[in-house]
Amino acid sequence: MSISIVSGFEFSPVGFEWQPIALAILVGGMIGFEREMHGRPAGLRTHILVCLASTLLIFASRVVPEHLIGADSTARIVLDPNRLAAGIVTGIGFLGAATVIRAGDIVRGITTGATVWTVAGLGIVIGQGEYSIAIVGAVAVMVVLAGLDPLTRRIAPVIYRRLTVTGLGSEMPVLSARIAAILKEYKIRVQDLSGRRGGPDEPFELVFHVRLRNSQQAPEMLERVSQVPGVKRAEWSQISH
């Protein structure tokens, strides 16, 4: 059975290739499920749709001209899959950027944005008929996402913080040196030091801009700083960007 849609083109359900659609759903679903499990903004449905759309567009650009033109026709229709693939990759980049969320110096969603862009690329490969490459690529993506996750959790990244100390008294340089010694003891590097001071009887403020490895030493270090004579208040905060 065939269904005539336009003159010279017939759709045959028996001869239609379902493998690209099935593989696109499988690949996009596998990667999207991993992102969904981690509570990311782009999850199962998003990854499936991106992979499926890329596959269908590339697949259609390859097979549609063959059906629209008969073997004895002198007409010519050109649909360039390479140019279409470039447009897909560019367009999906905007969708991936929407998944990135920034709060202070904490950025979330970059990996998810990269996976959205990657499944678009896998969809293009599937649409080109390179199924084996797409399967190997999908497995490699899963190894990176799931296999390297325990390793990344062991890495203590470099972070930048601000230590604000409010003190009383007139020995501002002495207090600054004592706090700097405590920071050095905890292997925290002072990148800059600024301050503010009013009258002799008014509290002064010291702001230490520091660089450190994120090993969660802030609570103990703050306790030490707050016990320094002359310190009225100590505050640990992110550096605004």
pLDDT at 80: 66
**How many Å apart are CA 49 and CA 11, to the nearest integer?**
23
Cα separation, 107 vs 196, in Å, equals: 31
Are 118 and 229 within one domain?
no
State pLDDT tens for residues 146-165: 888 888 888 877 888 889 99
Q: Are residues 122 and 165 in the same domain?
A: no
pTM for the structure as a whole: 0.67
Shared-domain flag, residues 167 and 203:
yes
The reported pLDDT for the residue numbered 2 is 43
Domain count of the fold of the chain: 2
Same structural domain, 93 and 23: yes
* Whole-number pLDDT of residue 26: 95
Q: What's residue 3's pLDDT?
A: 43
Last residue of a domain, one of 116, 131, 154: 154
pLDDT at 221: 83
Given a cut of 50, the residues of the chain with pLDDT beneath it are 1-9, 11, 13-15
Question: 34-39 long-range contacts, Cβ below 8 Å, gap at least 24?
Answer: 34/142, 34/145, 34/146, 35/112, 35/115, 35/145
User: What is the distance, to the nearest Å, from the Cα of residue 217 to the centroid of all Cα atoms in its chain?
Assistant: 27
- Please give the pLDDT value at position 78: 59
Mark whether 90 and 197 lie in a shared domain.
no
Residues 6+ apart with CB under 8 A from 143: none
- Angstrom distance (rounded) from CA 125 to CA 204: 63
Same domain flag for 42 and 96 = yes
Do both 116 and 228 map to the same domain?
no
What is the Rg, in whole angstroms, of the alpha carbon atoms belonging to the chain? 29
Residue 101 sits in the same domain as residue 195: no
Q: Please check whether residues 185 and 84 belong to one and the same domain.
A: no
In the listed set 120, 135, 154, which residue is the last one of a domain according to the structure?
A: 154
* Structural domain boundaries, residue 79: 3-154
122 and 210 share one domain: no
Between CA 227 and CA 203 the distance in angstroms is 17
